[in-house]
Amino acid sequence: MCGTVESLVDKLKTFVEPILAAENATLVDLEIKGRPGNQLVRVSIDCEQGVTLDKCEAISRKVADCFDMEDVIAGRYRLEISSPGVYRPLKTPGDFRRNLNREVEIVLQSDEADRKCAGFVTEVDQQGVTLKTKNGMQTLSFAEIKYGKVKLPW
């Protein structure tokens, strides 16, 4: 068993990530809430084609079986597998990478009222994001970005 919540999260990720890879999903976040013996393990996932209830159920069964077989969590726990939600802000390179080819709106760090930039994410590296905007390609550094949001089609 692991001593701290952080070390337990790291250990659980080593079991979850291969399962997600086999299911063509990626890990967005893994968090643990509650006290030992009665914990909630919340796993947020994303898939290129979107997250479905069937996908969450299949992954939940495999992750629970793995956790139980490896006995990595002391006592009882509840497992929750879900998408991060459509309104989750994009802040990290990984957040933007998971949204390649999707249309986003980015709020920029600025002294002026919230300046925004919208376009399709075409490239992401550790320094920033490149968007295809209506005025052409635009590259923004993460230092310039306050956060981004996926633009919804409706």
Topology of domain 93-150, CATH: SH3 type barrels. (2.30.30)
pLDDT at res. 1: 44
CATH class of 5-82: alpha beta
pLDDT at res. 2: 47
What's the pLDDT tens digit per position in 58-101?
999 999 999 999 998 888 999 999 998 878 889 889 889 988 99
pTM for this structure?
Answer: 0.69
pLDDT at res. 37: 85
Exposure string for 95-105, b = 16+ CB within 10 A, e = fewer: bbebbeeeebe
User: Taking the alpha carbons of 72, 19, 93, 41 in that order, is the dihedral positive or negative?
Assistant: negative
User: Taking the alpha carbons of 112, 84, 47, 4 in that order, is the dihedral positive or negative?
Assistant: positive
Task: Please identify every stretch of the chain with a pLDDT value under 50, giving residue numbers as ranges.
Answer: 1-2
pLDDT at res. 113: 64
Please list the residue range(s) of the chain that carry CATH number 3.30.300.70: 5-82
pLDDT at res. 30: 94
Please list the residue range(s) of the chain that carry CATH number 2.30.30.100: 93-150
User: Taking the alpha carbons of 89, 100, 48, 13 in that order, is the dihedral positive or negative?
Assistant: negative
Q: Mean pLDDT over all residues of the chain?
A: 91
